[in-house]
Amino acid sequence: MAWLSYEVMAFYLNIVAVGVFILFTSFKKFYSVKDRLGFSGDARKTSDYLGYIKDDINWFCMWFIQLCLTVLALVMRVRSHEGV
- For residue range 2-55, what is the model confidence (pLDDT) as tens digits? 678 888 888 999 999 988 888 887 777 776 766 666 666 666 667 777 777 777
Task: Kindly state whether residue 38 falls inside one of the protein's structural domains.
Answer: yes
Q: Look up the domain containing 50 and give its range.
A: 2-75
Q: Nearest-CA neighbor of 50 among 9, 8, 27, 22?
A: 22
Q: What is the pTM of this model?
A: 0.66
Task: Kindly state whether residue 36 falls inside one of the protein's structural domains.
Answer: yes
Reduce the secondary structure of 25-81 to three states and give it as a string.
HHHCCCCCHHHHHCCCCCHHHHCCHHHHCHHHHHHHHHHHHHHHHHHHHHHCCCCCC
Task: Kindly state whether residue 66 falls inside one of the protein's structural domains.
Answer: yes
Q: Give CA separation, 3 vs 6, 23, 29, 71, in Å.
A: 5, 30, 38, 17
Instruction: Indicate the number of domains in the chain.
Output: 1
Kindly report which listed range (24-28, 63-67, 70-74) carries the lowest average pLDDT score.
Answer: 24-28
CB-based contacts of 64, cutoff 8 Å, min separation 6: 13, 16, 17, 20, 21
